[in-house]
Amino acid sequence: MGDREIDRARRVAVIGGGPAGLMAAEVIAGAGVCVTVFDRMASMGRKLLMAGRGGLNLTHSEPAERFCRRYGAASAWMRPHLDAFPPAAAIAWCEGLGQPIFVGSSGRVFPRAMKASPLLRAWLARLAGLGVRFLPRARWTGWNEAGELAFAQAPPFAADATVLALGGASWPRLGSDAAWTALLPEVALAPLRPANCGFVVAWSERFRQRHAGAPLKRIALSFAGQTARGEAVIVEKGIEGGAVYALSAPLRDAIAREGVAVVRVDLRPDLDAAALAARLAAPRGSASLSTFLAKRIGLAPVAVGLVQEALHAGATEPLPALVKALPLRLTAPFAMARAISTAGGIALAELDEHLMLRRRPGVFAAGEMLDWEAPTGGYLLQACLATGAAAGRGVVAWLRTPR
């Protein structure tokens, strides 16, 4: 793409007012181009606000190589976009909006305010100052016969370039309902699948009634050579939480192949197997199993319940082995609408290095619409910001190219 001045009469549409779309709008407007952001919701950044309810995890402070590997099969494709907009850039951008950050003990990076609303307000104010126009309640319906962008409840829009940043299919009530997949019939799509999700477990009625809603703290989950330490939550239909999300991709894919995945739960990862076996070698006497496990190795009631659930299901492992590697049979991921994010989307082969659709010149895509996934921990938001910035740079370069 060329490098010349941009005709200031050019108009760019960004469809989707989430992090990827707003970042694309910032880059394009910063080059002096007129940008209009369309969103089908009543206001911008709905999912960003939801993400900030538990503390907005902006990015992660780990080394670049390890950071990039978090994107799995898309790591090589994602690398140049992360190099161009790395975590340090995300931090500087956040602080430039008046939101100082801190790094947690896990290496995760958060705004000190621990919520998204101050950041979003400052961001929208900056964009307005750059001349960005916002059109909420405008649902994109494709292109009309004249080649203009068509919207429900908004007039057609003739764009010189367009950025699509419509999200995946998680949390559809916040705007990402994947309706866009029907509007790009010529573009190859990888099937959308739940990511960072919980899983169905067929609990006994007794266990469900006693422990649904209980947290499993300081555990480790292992599957297919991967281990994740953290916490989980027992829910009526199964299990969810940070440690589960970290393994959700291989678990989901195993279930798709085989119909089931058995994850192993270490209920006391801070005790090695020998130390735990020594503690459990003491005579139990008249104590119930629940009392014995609570006193000897400090298991919480929900963890004891899991051991009892496994024994009732026919587990034959010695008690120490069961505590260190309790089998949990997962039969399905939770519904995509409940997932934190989604995998799948526009196939990466459909995009050039500037994130422009090869089959639709002048149309770029960014964020969760694209076929990548990553665990929670700051990787999701970082990739949305990085691909939004990349699409924005792509638009600027496109508008500078003689045609």
- Pair 148, 2: CB distance under 8 Å: no
155: which residues sit within 8 A by CB, 6+ positions away? none
Going from N- to C-terminal start, the domains of the chain cover: 11-193+341-399, 199-333
Give SS3 for 52: helix
Instruction: Specify the pairing of strand 11-15 against strand 34-38.
Output: parallel
Q: Which residue has tokens 């994130």?
A: 355
Q: Please state, in angstroms and rounded to a whole number, the distance separating the CA atoms of residues 152 and 366.
A: 22
- Pair 57, 378: CB distance under 8 Å: yes
Percent of the chain, pLDDT > 90? 93
Summarised one tens digit per residue, pLDDT across range 127-174 is: 999 999 999 999 999 999 999 999 998 999 999 999 999 999 998 999
Buried b (16+ CB within 10 A) or exposed e, 240-252: bbbbbbbbbbbbb
Q: What is the pLDDT of residue 4?
A: 63
Checking if the pLDDT of 288 tops 60, the result is yes
Residue type, 366: A
Q: Please state, in angstroms and rounded to a whole number, the distance separating the CA atoms of residues 20 and 44.
A: 12
Percent of the chain, pLDDT > 70? 99
Residues 58-64 have a mean pLDDT of 97
How sure is the predictor about 8, in pLDDT bands with cuts at 50, 70 and 90? low
Q: What is the pLDDT of residue 219?
A: 98
Per DSSP, 369 falls in state: G
Per DSSP, 172 falls in state: G
The phi and psi torsions of 240 (rounded to 5 degrees) equal -150, 180
One of 3.50.50.60, 1.10.4080.10, 1.10.3720.10, 3.40.50.2300 is the CATH number of 11-193+341-399, namely 3.50.50.60
Q: Please state, in angstroms and rounded to a whole number, the distance separating the CA atoms of residues 211 and 385.
A: 39
Per DSSP, 39 falls in state: -
Q: What is the pLDDT of residue 192?
A: 97
Token readout for 123 is: 């961001």
Residues 21-46 have a mean pLDDT of 97
Q: Count of CB atoms within 10 A of residue 210's CB?
A: 15
Mind giving me the DSSP string for 217-241?
Answer: EEEEEEETTEEEEEEEEEETTEEES
Using CA atoms in the order 196, 239, 47, 54, what is the torsion angle rounded to 10 degrees?
-110
Residues 99-113 have a mean pLDDT of 95
193: which residues sit within 8 A by CB, 6+ positions away? 252, 333, 336, 342, 343, 344
